[in-house]
Amino acid sequence: MIDIENRFKGWLKGQGPKPPLGTWLMAAAPATAEAMGYSGFDFLVVDMEHVPIEVSDLAHILRAIGCTPADAVVRLAWNDQVLVKRVLDAGAQTIMLPFVQTAEEARQAVSFAKYPPEGVRGVAAVHRGSRFGRAADYLKRANDQIAVIVQLETPEAIERLPEIAAVPGIDALFVGPGDLAAAMGHIGNIAHADVQALIERAARIAQEAGKPVGIVGPNPDMVRRFIGYGYSYVAVASDIAMMTSRASEWLGALRGDAAPAPVAPAAAY
């Protein structure tokens, strides 16, 4: 039997690394995705929201990640029925939907990701998700194996966290620190005390609701802070951020420049 088990969904339930550590993929390149997958990260976020990645590109990136020990999380451009269907058919198993504001929007996200009777996902016999039809039990198992993560990116969404978390089929939450800071009037500054206080509060509310919650930080120090707040899974920076910061560091050393500025704590994805 061809395996379609979603390891990351098990990790969200505590059946794996604690906490799972990942990074963002902004390069839109299979080679970079594969290299990062061999670098020790537990998961890699393929960003289709802010990166020019189309579904055809996604399939190649997922193939590259699939060669490595890492798992893929696909962040879609929007909570859209057609986009969800196409991304799942391309082989994604864990999807993240941005800017979910209400429980109703969360219910829509779940319905888009599930086959009837639990949802409205369209049925096709042969696609990459079903291993091109070779996973004979795919249609029966897919609803249980797909993981749905919704992003909370405003103070209003954080306030509604308990009701969003209670929606059946929502496997985890994710706090978007960059958009949260912007919505709070502190665009570009996730380190602001008010933003940090709400980020910490979100983790506490999620724990009380019994729902895993993730976040991304620009550097290890910020990520350690988020883990201390109680976040269940955390990403650090991105492939591009790591590459450019290392390049600046080495060029500074060769040219005798002053120590390069660190990646700004505002950097979030």
DSSP 259: P
How far is it, in rounded angstroms, from Cα 77 to Cα 96? 9
Q: What is the largest CA-CA distance in the chain?
A: 64
CB 186 within 8 A of CB 194: yes
User: 147 by DSSP, 3-state: which?
Assistant: strand
**Please, are residues 228 and 137 in contact by the beta-carbon 8 Å criterion?**
no
Mapped onto helix, strand or coil, the DSSP state of residue 237 is strand
Whole-number Å distance between alpha carbons of 28 and 169: 29
* Chain centre to alpha carbon of residue 70: 13
β partners of residue 97: 150
3-state secondary structure of 235: strand
Q: Phi first, then psi: what are they for 41, rounded to 5°?
A: -70, 145
143 is written with which tokens? 């609803």
Active site annotation includes 127: no
Which residues does 253 contact at the CB level (< 8 Å), separation at least 6? none
Of the residues 50, 60, 127, 186, which is catalytic?
50
Angle, CA 46 vertex, CA 153 and CA 240 arms, to 5° = 95
Residues with active-site annotation: 50
